[in-house]
Amino acid sequence: MPSRFESPDSANSRNGKDDEAQEVGMVPDKFIEEEHRAHGGVKFAIYWEYVKAGKIRWWVVLISILALYRLVTVGETWFLKTWGEAFERSESESRATSGPFDALPSPETNVRPWLIGFFLIAVARSCMFLISQNFMLVIIYSAGRQMFRDIIQKVSHATFRFYDVTPVGRLMNRLTSDIGIVDGNISQQFQAVAFLAITWLSSLVIIAGVTPVFLVFSLLLSLAFVLIFLRFLPTSQSLRRLEMVSLSPLFSNFGALLGGLTTVRAFCAQSVFQDRVIAATDAFQKMDHFYWSLQAWLMYRLDALSAFATLGLTLLAIFTGISAGLMAFVLTAAAQFVMSTHQICRTYANLQMDFTSVERVVELLSLEQEPTGTISAPARWPLYSGDIMFEDVTIRYAPHLDPSLSSVSFCIPGGSTTALLGRTGSGKSTCTLALLATILPGEGRIVIDDIDVSKIDKQALRSRITFLAQEPILFPGTLKHNLDPRDDYSNDACQAVLNRICGNHQWSLNTPIEAGGQNLSQGQRQLVGLARAVLRRSSIVILDEATASIDVETATRIQQVLREELSESTVITIAHRLEAVKNADHYILLKNGRVVAQGPTTAEMMERGMGDIAEAEN
């Protein structure tokens, strides 16, 4: 609809531009986009990230031990083959040959050396297996710890915009289900694939060394296995990703239900949430059903092909005409070849499926990080007398959104009390978020005590400003722990503040507080937050509707206490109620992201300012 100051032609032109913007996709349809889902195979870079997390040196040692283990296993089979043939050889034949075990006596006359040799080979094989498993545990621990530490670091330092557009359930899914898979059997599957590849290669070398016919048949079998596997892999990867993505709504629905359980029951909305959970569960189970059906499809074909391969290799061995001992040795290698080919396909398929979770976790490593700042905060910054200045500040929460603040300029004198007024959506909260540098100006700058907040160290900035939200954050523990989480103040100082702010309540420093202050009312939680602000006495204190849930009489008394205790601090009060102007030295009125009135609350300015406020409120 065109406004009163807009001609029909200009309105049509504006509507046409809006339609054009919609067509080219400049304005998104949804505030929260669908969860990203990769396509195609898992990239090599994802595998490399996991290998690096497990330390490359440990992987090299592990693969070397697995290769030695396989070599000893082949040697054990050859030893048994030689032992069996030794019963049929005469003494002259034994002297004519020069094998590694020909120095041993005939087992018919003295079997003890053969038993000792077999025992030593078995012990060496067992020791190598034990060592490989210990290294596997080291890799699992190192990779899981390193990846989780890196991801928590990235998530903790992500921009606040990321938390605005990312549902909590989606993040919980990646940090619980996906991390659980990373901490699970991925490293064991990696080990299995490496060992099976070594087994497959060594078996192929043995087969090729005995007869080329075996080699040709084995390569044809390998090709058949690969063709079946390549047909299975793309579909299974897509289903696995869909399965993991469909799990996020379950987390979100359960989180929303638990967080608002009282409201759901009050409005008798249990059936609505039940339907939402059932729909999310059905969507997840559909993907899970098709995923496991595809697994059964693969297993049936691989098992059938393995049976055919074993039959074919056995028939070839029978009609080749080699000695019985060598035939047994080759058939053992052939059986291991078939087994390893089959298991490589199965294990690598499972590895690919599980690595979709690693892929989803690694995506968090590329999150945009909040700038830390290039200037270290001086020890006494900001001074109590330091001014706060907004210089032509324009802020957007996203490039495609209209500005929340547009060319805003004002100055808050140091040590003063300023009321920030305006209706919901006028830009009050954006101003406070900008002061804390949780969102940075696209244009202009914000200066606190002569330092640009976009350049100052963010941790120092936020630790030196006290921000009291309308919903104070309380931690499980004692009241003392909530007033002074870092133990910076004495018990006497905490008790004095508690008596001053919360004198009407019979509280002590040891009063238990539940998580989120659930054992306190909204007003009581605000009192604890106010006591925390008075205890810290920061040079800048921001109060966001800090007394909205407190009765008028108590709020009036607390306002008096705040004026006395924070008389030297720069206090910024966000309020909807016009009465907040009366207790402030200055006021700033915002409307639609712009400053429409500001000034000191003198008698003259009070009369004119209240008129401006009333007009803006209407």
For 423-464, the pLDDT digits (tens) are: 888 888 889 888 988 888 888 999 998 888 888 888 888 888
286 has a pLDDT exceeding 60 = yes
Identify the three-state secondary structure at position 600: strand
Which pLDDT score is estimated for 28?
Answer: 46
Which pLDDT score is estimated for 97?
Answer: 46
Length in residues, the chain: 618
Q: Stretch 578-602: mean pLDDT, rounded?
A: 79
Which pLDDT score is estimated for 614?
Answer: 53
CB 538 within 8 A of CB 464: yes
267 token code pair? 């409005």
Which pLDDT score is estimated for 7?
Answer: 37
603 has a pLDDT exceeding 70 = no
CB 160 within 8 A of CB 371: no
Which pLDDT score is estimated for 23?
Answer: 38
CB 136 within 8 A of CB 187: yes
- What's the rounded Cα separation, in Å, for the pair 614 and 608? 10
Give the CA distances from residue 310 to residues 108, 116, 186, 313, 339, in Å, rounded to whole numbers and listed in that order: 34, 33, 30, 5, 9
Least trusted range by pLDDT, from 77-81, 445-449, 527-531, 589-593: 77-81
Which pLDDT score is estimated for 615?
Answer: 54
Least trusted range by pLDDT, from 87-91, 290-294, 425-429, 525-529: 87-91
- What's the rounded Cα separation, in Å, for the pair 219 and 225? 10
Question: Regarding predicted confidence, which is higher, 107 or 292?
Answer: 292
Which pLDDT score is estimated for 36?
Answer: 64
Which pLDDT score is estimated for 89?
Answer: 59
> In sequence order, which ranges of 211-323 are alpha helices (DSSP H)?
212-245, 248-259, 261-266, 270-318
Which pLDDT score is estimated for 5?
Answer: 33
101 has a pLDDT exceeding 80 = no
- What's the rounded Cα separation, in Å, for the pair 235 and 237? 5
Before 371, cis peptide (omega within 30)?
Answer: no
Q: In the chain, what percentage of residues exceed pLDDT 90?
A: 2
491 has a pLDDT exceeding 80 = yes
Q: Across 104-108, 186-190, 467-471, which has the greatest mean pLDDT?
A: 467-471
Q: Which long-range contacts (C-beta less than 8 Å, at least 24 apart) are formed by 319-324?
A: 320/211, 320/213, 322/210, 322/211, 323/85, 324/84
The three-point CA angle 192-195-196 to 5° equals: 80
| CATH among 3.40.190.10, 1.10.260.40, 3.40.630.10, 3.40.50.300 for 388-617 | 3.40.50.300
Number of H helices, E strands in the chain: 21, 12
Which pLDDT score is estimated for 343?
Answer: 81
Mean of pLDDT over the chain: 78
The three-point CA angle 520-485-551 to 5° equals: 30
The three-point CA angle 20-24-27 to 5° equals: 85
Those residues whose C-beta lies under 8 Å from the C-beta of residue 141, and which sit 6 or more positions away, are none
391 has a pLDDT exceeding 80 = yes
Q: What tens digit of pLDDT does each residue of 305-321 get?
A: 878 877 877 777 677 76
- What's the rounded Cα separation, in Å, for the pair 458 and 454? 8
Would you kindly state where each structural domain of the chain is located, as residue ranges? 1-30, 44-366, 388-617
Those residues whose C-beta lies under 8 Å from the C-beta of residue 139, and which sit 6 or more positions away, are 54, 55, 58, 59, 62, 187, 190
* Positive or negative torsion for Cα 21, 24, 29, 32: negative
- What's the rounded Cα separation, in Å, for the pair 535 and 529? 10
CATH fourth-level superfamily of 44-366: ABC transporter type 1, transmembrane domain (1.20.1560.10)
427 token code pair? 């830009």
Sheet containing 388-395, strands listed edge to edge, beginning at the edge strand earlier in sequence: 405-412, 388-395, 443-448, 451-452
Q: pLDDT-based confidence at 4, cuts 50/70/90? A: very low
CA atoms within 13 A on the CB side of 279: 9
- What's the rounded Cα separation, in Å, for the pair 410 and 588? 8
Q: What tens digit of pLDDT does each residue of 132-145 get?
A: 888 888 888 888 88
249 token code pair? 């709504």
Q: pLDDT-based confidence at 348, cuts 50/70/90? A: confident
- What's the rounded Cα separation, in Å, for the pair 599 and 611? 13
